[in-house]
Amino acid sequence: MRLPGRLSAAIAVLADVETRKRPVSEALKAWGLNNRFAGAGDRAAIGNLVYDALRRRASHAALMGSDTPRALVLAVAVRDWGEDPAALSESFAGDNHAPEALSAEEMARAVGQLGDDVPGFVLADVPEWLAPSLERGFGDNWIAEGQDMAGRPSLDLRVNSLKSSRERVMKSLARFTPEEAAIAPLGVTMKAGPRDARTPNVTTDEGYLKGWFEVQDQGSQIVAALAGAQPGEQVLDLCAGAGGKTLALAAAMMNKGQIFAYDSDRNRLAPIYDRLKRNGARNVQVRAPQPGALDDLVGKMDRVVIDAPCTGTGTWRRRPDTKWKLTPELLSQRVGEQAAILAEGQRYLKPGGTLVYITCSILPEENDEQIAGFLAGNPGFASVMPEDMWAAAFGTALPAGLATGKGGIALTPRLTGTDGFYFNALRLVE
Ligand SMILES: C[S@@+](CC[C@H](N)C(=O)[O-])C[C@H]1O[C@@H](n2cnc3c(N)ncnc32)[C@H](O)[C@@H]1O
């Protein structure tokens, strides 16, 4: 397929997402099944167009004066992919699969600039109702933070130190030109390419199948390292999900001590069994959800890790459709769940133990404000200095700008080149 046909397909997929309220991945898959002539390169290019349209949906729409799928996709072609609108329109003429030629207004708008009167939430490409939260969290930098959240993410891997080394993994993936991640010592990163660049499929690599590495954003690796789990400790991973953090904790503990991996959702937990095997993680006991599943652990843990359910606002680069679907009701539901899990999690600590709180959110309601609420109701806890947690994990000083006001550490695409994450460690004073 040539570009005009790919643009038409992206318009159709976006329309499907909007009218049927489908997740993008589902709509892209359905398009592929109905258009079997399209190759992997076409599907990747169409996916990139759709995701780019959603990443900067607000500013694309403001520029084009319209938020139809056509307007958004044309904006991507010109603003993000660098196409000249007149040449693009001409290329549509001889192509049966092309969208209609661009109107004079569309051509003029696509190369225009956003006016001075454009509100901050449009410049930041975030929903209007979230602007006050982001401004509270990031101060004067909130628009720049939003803009970097609208970029394409890298593909990051965590080398499994139980089975391999960074050097070996990078050698085995040399065809994808991997680089060492900037912060995570076991991280390997592959930058996102422009336009129709394809994301490397690393999960068919023999190194992956042998358990040498996992796909894991560098931010997730950093917060897992900050958790500070030591060989020999008793650790409860209370929201283990499919085990991304569990595997990193097991490797950090060199398979010594014990991790109890629990999740209230059996389906989310299901993949953990295979992943543990592939990774050679042998110090993990999975506790399936059932009444009393964790009763024997009350008051016994050195560390309780809460990778809390959250809005996922830190992953907007990867799932830009979720940015526009988030509602105040869902945010307040998540905040309530987090407060309940913090109250539950602290019961398992022994005196002197550490409660680790992690979200992949950039909203203060789920981060510093959640922790402030917990500390107000639990005076036996105190935040561990973020500088100390960082130095213990990485042996370096905490980079400027990452410390939040309330003992937390914030990671963002702008600050650390990672997904957005929040970390806070609270010690139960003996
Ligand atoms: C951010 S995800 C965990 C991701 C996982 N730790 C990883 O690194 O791949 C949050 C998880 O919390 C779980 N969860 C939600 N409420 C819970 C509760 N009350 N107790 C335990 N787990 C809960 C969800 O099912 C979800 O899997």
| Cβ neighbours around 247 below 10 Å, total | 28
- Catalytic-role residue among 249, 360, 415, 428: 360
Domains of the chain, residue spans: 3-118, 218-428
| Tens-digit pLDDT profile for residues 128-140 | 999 999 999 999 9
What's the confidence (pLDDT) of residue 94? 86
Q: What six digits make up the tokens of 345?
A: 């999690």
Considering only CA atoms, which residue is closest to atom 10 of ligand 1?
Answer: 309
Instruction: Average the pLDDT over 300-316 and give the result.
Output: 98
Asked if residue 275 has its Cβ within 6 Å of ligand 1, the reply is: no
Predicted pLDDT of residue 44: 97
- 218-428 has which CATH code? 3.40.50.150
Per-position b or e across 276-297, b if 16+ CB within 10 A of its CB? bebbebebbebbeeeeeebeeb
Residue 208's pLDDT band (boundaries 50, 70, 90)? very high
* pLDDT at site 333: 98
Is the distance from CB of 187 to CB of 156 less than 8 angstroms?
yes
Nearest atom (ligand 1) to Cα of 358? 1
Q: Is the pLDDT of residue 373 over 90?
A: yes
Distance CA 166, CA 179 (A): 10
All residues at 6 or more sequence positions from 408 whose CB lies less than 8 Å from its CB, including other chains: 367, 368, 371, 383, 386, 422, 423, 424
Residue 278's pLDDT is 98
**pLDDT score of 430 more than 80:** no
Cα–ligand 1 centroid distance for 89 (angstroms): 48
pLDDT digits (tens, 9 = 90+) for 18-47: 999 999 999 999 999 999 999 999 999 999
Q: Which amino acid is at 92?
A: F
Residue 244 CB less than 6 A away from ligand 1: yes
Name residue 2's amino acid. R
Q: Write the residue with the smallest CA distance to atom 3 of ligand 1.
A: 241
Q: What is the mean pLDDT of residues 206-214?
A: 97
pLDDT band at 91 (very low <50, low <70, confident <90, very high): very high
Q: What is the DSSP letter of 350?
A: E
Residue 413: per-residue pLDDT: 98
What is the C-alpha radius of gyration for the chain, rounded to an integer number of angstroms?
23
Q: How confident is the model at residue 405 (pLDDT cuts 50, 70, 90)?
A: confident
Provide, rounded to the nearest whole percent, the portion of the chain with pLDDT above 70. 100
> With bands split at pLDDT 50, 70 and 90, how would you rate the model's confidence at 381?
very high
Q: What is the ipTM of this complex?
A: 0.99
CA dist., res. 335 & res. 387, Å (int): 26
pLDDT at 64 over 90: yes
Residue nearest to atom 9 of ligand 1 (CA): 244
pLDDT for 301 beyond 90:
yes
Q: Is 239 in the pocket of ligand 1 (CB under 6 A)?
A: yes
| Residue 177 confidence class, pLDDT cut points 50, 70, 90 | very high
Report the residue among 220, 263, 421 best suited for mutation to probe ligand 1: largest number of ligand atoms under 8 A from its CB: 263
pLDDT digits (tens, 9 = 90+) for 331-365: 999 999 999 999 999 999 999 999 999 999 999 99
Distance 342 CA to ligand 1 centre (A): 12
Q: Residue 425's pLDDT band (boundaries 50, 70, 90)? A: very high
Q: Determine the pLDDT at residue 286.
A: 98
The amino acid sitting at 155 is L
Question: Which pLDDT belongs to residue 140?
Answer: 97
DSSP string, 240-269: -TTSHHHHHHHHHTTT-SEEEEE-S-HHHH
> Which is the closest atom of ligand 1 to the Cα of 241?
27
Is 310 an annotated catalytic residue? no
